[in-house]
Amino acid sequence: MDVLLNEEEQMLKNLAREFLEKECPPEMARAMEADDLGYPPALWKKLADLGWLGLALPEAYGGQGLPLAYLGLIFEELGRAIAPVPFHSTMMAALTIAKDGSEQQKKEVLPAVARGDMVLTWALLETDPRLLPETVHAQATPQGNGYVISGTKMFVDNFNAAQKFLVACRTAPVSGDKSPVTPLYERGGLSSPPLQRGVGGISAQGSEAGLSLFLVDTNLPGISHTPLGTMVKDKQSRVTFDRVAVPASSLVGRLHQGWPVIEGMLDRGTILLCAQMLGATRKDAEMGIDYAKNRVAFGRPIGAFQSIQHLCADMIVWVDGVQLLTYEALWRMDQGLPASIEISQAKAFANDKCEAVVRSSQVIHGGIGFMAEFNLNLWFRRVSSWTMRMGTSFEHRARIARALLDQPGRVRLGESMYDLAPSG
Amino acid sequence: MDFGFTPRQEALKQEVRQFIAENVSPEVLAEAAKGWEEGRGPRTRELLKKIADRGWVGISWPKEYGGQGGSRIDQYLVEEEFARVGIGVGGAGSGAPAILAAGTEEQKQYFLPRIIRGEIVFGLGFTEPQAGADLASLQCRAVRDGDEYVVNGQKMFTSSAHFATHLYLMARTDPEAPKHKGISIFLIPMDTPGITVRPLWTIQSNPTAPLGTTYGQARTNEVFLEDVHVPASCILGEENMGWYVGAMGLNLDRVGASRYLLSVSRDEDIINWVKENDFQGFTPAQDPAVRDRLAELWIEAQVCRLMTLRSMSLVEHGGKFTYEGSAEKVFSPEHGVRTTETITQVLGPYAQLMNGSPEAIEDGIFAHNVLGAFQSGINHGSVQVMRDQVARRGLGMPRS
Ligand SMILES: Cc1cc2nc3c(=O)[nH]c(=O)nc-3n(C[C@H](O)[C@H](O)[C@H](O)COP(=O)(O)OP(=O)(O)OC[C@H]3O[C@@H](n4cnc5c(N)ncnc54)[C@H](O)[C@@H]3O)c2cc1C
Ligand SMILES: Cc1cc2nc3c(=O)[nH]c(=O)nc-3n(C[C@H](O)[C@H](O)[C@H](O)COP(=O)(O)OP(=O)(O)OC[C@H]3O[C@@H](n4cnc5c(N)ncnc54)[C@H](O)[C@@H]3O)c2cc1C
């Protein structure tokens, strides 16, 4: 047990920071907000040359096979630099293909990603913004030697930049007695009725969800997209599928068994986003603290006032909390241990605390932080929007509550919550 | 990063659990629950001796002083198991870390083995009526007189003084120096003439709190020192360096299993309670608001755990704390209060029932916790002062 970074991890982080400080100033994030593509291809290519794009991909497909925690450290630094690159959506899809894709899919996608020649994304959410199997209605119907996809996906990251994406579709109706109308008490993800099955009782549903995942070219006939106008001015789209024909070989994993694959993708995406939020939030806090040391009011630096000092102390305590939760989840994933609870812990805490930290930093900056040309808002807007992605606090706490309360057996901090009692 | 324990450490945990199942009887626990009032009873002393014989006290202390020369993490694991049943083991608050760091060879030889065997217990004589959070403004005087010091002053909230064998005393030795630079620490036998102990009863004394309550302390004391003559060899560390010796001890005292459990035990208790109980038709475990709040508290409790592990990791790396101990001492006690106050709103009027009352839940521990939980945010560095430290030492913010 040693929760601090070891030498190698620290070195990787330092190198990433040095590179990004030099190559990715905040002006780049600002410029990309007004750019149609949304990222600078030259920087993307440099990330590939540094080996970051293949860092956690298998060696057999052009990657380096390093632990997910290392990728997490890269995400932390990318967040710190608010680097405008489609890294998160690409990694979410690429890691999923690496884990669950067919040999052909791996060959087609992974080396290209590692080289920096392919951008990826994923499409799951529809009207209902919760990351749950029953919110998926887009239909993939068998036809000839493949499938035909129809439906509409929301909040698809970097669609305009991506060559391929993973698309979650319904291939069979939801089995069991799931009514299409979510009961009132479930809305907002506050809670769900006790569950009898699933991994440690916390998985919303298993293979019975009737979903399948497809790897789809973004330029196929029948696919159209409408850019969404977000507070970060990042590139998210509403994507419509109008009878889009895809070959049978696009299926990722097994037919109707897509949910566990999707859940794994969401878990990795969630924790990597936590790492990114962590880096951005710590940087934002540091800017607030620096400002407090230098800004003079009432004859002294405002950082000499205890009310400002205590605000800053809380900011750092909370960021440290996000860091510890995030690292523990990453570590567990690298050990092959179940980590969905730890991931939800990290994201729920990050959602609440990162928002509080960047807001405090705005407060410390008084009026100037509210001005568009002052850079602080670049971090503020991003961290805020990331709290809204990959699961709200309510959704993640609902998952934790299920683990805590809906399985028999006593809980104890520091002990596994996945096997309080045998599931089944 | 490594968040796991080794197979050997996992086995150690199991071994301690086994020992507890076999040796910590309800009778011992009943006696230990009266510890704050009456000091250690015969059953408790016997148990502590058995624990020491297993080599589980002072695991990280050097062998030549009766320790095991082992890791601080092992010690933490053992402390946690015992703290969970309400038995304090392992030297938190013992003064031992400071003696190890600053004591003379003679002091180490004398005190450490006896602390391990439970023969020496310190009362912590820091606080005074006019010096609490601002401890460095203390006024208790120690004047050098040949081979002796003569001590005069008053100490406040000296918790174990009525059963301690020694006083771990902070006193002013140079009234002319800046306030942090004129303080020394003395290790003084309680039976030295001139020392008077008077009880102070807390709001947790009637009835006495069940074991494991935060804070749970029924009694503390005032200590009066009148012309107390002690040999000069009682001084710990150099004269006028006491502030730094004391701060070192406090930092090490602040972190560890018992501190952490003070803040998180009620999280486990309430979750386990709502899982197994309901109020004939009202099942808190199925109430959406309760579920969301308990999950939120659970996450915070994990942060408390991880901050403790971070402190342990820092100790293993040589103990260079800048602000991390203080950060933990801000987050954890305040978390404990949030949990306690949430529980009152989960259980409603049942949360007011004390032990001994009909219908009391979990022997009144939740009610007692309301009375005491906030105390852990005051003792050993209040949360306000700890935030100052995070900001000034950790973040380099200017003094006002
Ligand atoms: C949209 C907008 C419209 C505005 N319109 C007008 C206008 O029409 N006319 C006009 O004259 N002004 C206007 N202002 C200015 C506004 O009143 C100032 O922003 C405000 O007074 C704060 O001053 P500051 O920005 O210089 O922050 P600072 O004074 O530098 O304060 C920075 C931070 O330090 C804190 N702080 C300062 N002193 C202390 C202390 N003693 N103890 C603890 N904390 C302290 C503050 O609370 C704040 O959080 C406007 C500002 C904005 C953003
Ligand atoms: C049950 C119990 C057991 C104890 N056991 C011991 C013991 O064994 N040995 C021992 O020496 N002491 C002991 N104490 C004393 C304890 O350490 C003190 O209570 C603590 O240091 C606070 O001191 P005080 O009570 O004088 O409060 P004060 O110092 O008067 O503080 C009052 C309030 O003011 C706040 N405050 C003080 N300074 C600042 C500042 N600069 N900025 C903002 N806020 C500030 C504090 O945080 C606190 O909230 C015990 C206390 C209790 C209640």
Mean pLDDT for B266-274 is 97
DSSP assigned state of A387: H
Q: Write the pLDDT tens digit of every residue in A217-265.
A: 999 999 999 999 999 999 999 999 999 999 999 999 999 999 999 999 9
**pLDDT value of residue A176:** 54
> How many angstroms separate the Cα of A105 from the Cα of each of A95, A113, A164, B351?
12, 12, 11, 59
Q: What's residue A174's pLDDT?
A: 72
Q: How confident is the model at residue B93 (pLDDT cuts 50, 70, 90)?
A: low
| Ligand 1 atom closest to Cα of residue A368 | 25
Going from N- to C-terminal start, the domains of chain B cover 7-90, 122-239, 254-394
As assigned by CATH, the class of the B254-394 domain is mainly alpha
Which chain B residue has the Cα nearest residue A308? Answer: B391
Q: What is the DSSP string of B133-194?
A: SSGGG---EEEEETTEEEEEEEEE--TTTTT-SEEEEEEES-TTS-GGGSEEEEEEETTSTT
What average pLDDT score do residues B42-55 get?
93
Q: What pLDDT score was predicted for residue B257?
A: 84
Q: How many CB atoms lie within 10 A of CB B226?
A: 13
How distant is the Cα of B331 from the closest Cα of chain A, in angstroms? 7
Query: Considering CB atoms only, which of A4, A9, A401 is closest to B317?
Result: A4
Q: Is A154 exposed, middle or buried (0-12, 13-18, 19+ CB in 10 A)?
A: middle
CATH of domain B7-90: 1.10.540.10
Q: Choose the weakest-confidence range: A268-272, A414-418, B208-212, B317-321.
A: B317-321
pLDDT at res. B102: 93
Ligand nearest to the CA of A308: 1
Burial of residue B170 (number of CB atoms within 10 Å: 0-12, 13-18, 19+): buried
Burial A321-358 (b: 16+ CB within 10 A, else e): bbbbbbbbbbbbbbeeebbbbbbbbbbbbbbbbbbbbb
CB B324 within 8 A of CB B303: no
Which residue type sits at B76? Y
Handedness of CA B8, A2, B312, A414 (dihedral sign): negative
Contact criterion met (CB < 8 Å) for A410 and B303: no
Cα A266 to Cα A141, A182, A332, A380, B362, distances in angstroms: 24, 21, 16, 24, 40
Identify the pLDDT of residue A419: 75
State CA B189 to chain mean position distance: 21
Ligand 1 contacts (CB < 6 A) are A 295, 297-298, 302, 305, 307-308, 363-364, 366-368, 370
| Other CB atoms within 10 A of residue A65 CB | 13
Check pLDDT > 60 for residue B348. yes
Q: Which residues contact A336 (CB under 8 A, 6 or more apart)?
A: none
What domains can you pick out in chain A, each with its CATH number? 7-118 (1.10.540.10), 122-172+210-256 (2.40.110.10), 261-405 (1.20.140.10)
Residue with tokens 């009694």: B219
* Whether the domain at B7-90 and the domain at B122-239 fall into the same CATH topology: no
Q: What residues of chain A lie within 8 A of the CB of B85, using their CB?
A: none
User: Predicted confidence band at B253 (pLDDT cuts at 50, 70, 90)?
Assistant: low
Q: DSSP letters of A167-235? A: EEEESSPPPTT--SSPPGGGGGG------S-SGGGT-S--GGG-EEEEEEETT-TTEEEEEE--TT---
- Residue keyed to tokens 């036809």: A143
Nearest CA in chain B to A342: B299
**Cβ neighbour number for residue A424 with a 10 Å cutoff:** 6
| Among A207, A123, A104, A199, CA closest to A164 | A123
Q: Provide the H-helix boundaries in B284-379.
A: 288-316, 324-347, 365-372
- Dump pLDDT digits (tens) for B156-169: 999 999 999 999 99
Residue of A nearest to B293 (CA): A397
Ligand 2 atom nearest the C-alpha of B133 is 29
The pLDDT score that the predictor gives to residue A182 is 36
> Which ranges of chain A have pLDDT less than 70?
175-208, 421-424
Read off the pLDDT of each residue in B327-353 and give the average, rounded to a whole number.
Answer: 97
Compute CA distances B106 → A56, A63, B113, B136, B234, whole Å. Answer: 56, 60, 12, 28, 11
* CB atoms inside a 10 Å sphere around CB A416: 12
How buried is residue B119: exposed, middle or buried, by Cβ count under 10 Å (0-12/13-18/19+)?
A: middle
Give the model's confidence band at B89: pLDDT under 50 very low, under 70 low, under 90 confident, else very high: confident
CA distance B1 to chain A (A): 5
pLDDT of the residue at B96: 86
CA separation for the pair B25, B46 (Å, rounded): 12
Q: What is the reported pLDDT for A193?
A: 40
The pLDDT assigned to A98 comes to 98
Q: How far is CA B52 from CA A183, B114, B278, in A?
A: 58, 10, 42
- Answer whether B398 sits within 8 Å of A304, measured CB to CB: yes
| Cis peptide bond prior to B207, omega within 30° of 0 | yes
Residue B115 has pLDDT above 60, yes or no: yes
Which string of DSSP letters, residue by residue, matches B29-73?
A: HHHHTTHHHH---HHHHHHHHHHHHTT-SSTTS-GGGTS----HH
Which range has the worst mean pLDDT, A110-119, B81-90, B127-136? B81-90
pTM: 0.95
Q: Which atom of ligand 1 is nearest to the CA of A365?
A: 32
* Chain A residues close to B264, C-beta within 8 Å: 413
- Chain B residue numbers touching A1 (CB-CB < 8 A): 2-5, 9, 73, 309, 312-313
Residues near A280 by beta carbon (within 8 Å), at least 6 away in sequence:
A79, A80, A82, A354, A379, A382, A383, A386
Picking from A4, A328, A400, the nearest residue to B313 by CB comes out as: A4
- Whether B373 has a pLDDT exceeding 80, the answer reads yes
Q: Predicted confidence band at B91 (pLDDT cuts at 50, 70, 90)? A: low
Q: How far is A129 from chain B (nearest CA, A)?
A: 19
| CA A203 – CA B51 distance, rounded (Å) | 43
Question: Which residues, 6 or more positions from A319, have their beta carbon under 8 angstroms from its beta carbon?
Answer: A278, A281, A282, A285, A353, A354, A357
Instruction: List, in order, residues 6 or more apart from A346 with CB less than 8 Å away.
Output: A270, A271, A274, A322, A325, A326, A328, A329
Position A19, amino acid:
F
The CATH code belonging to domain B122-239 is: 2.40.110.10
- Which chain B residues in 78-97 lie under 8 Å from chain A, judged by CB atoms? 80
Measured in Å, residue B227 CA sits from the centre of ligand 1 at 58
Return the pLDDT at A420: 74
Q: What is the mean pLDDT of chain B?
A: 93
Q: What is the pLDDT of residue B247?
A: 78
Average pLDDT over residues B143-160: 97
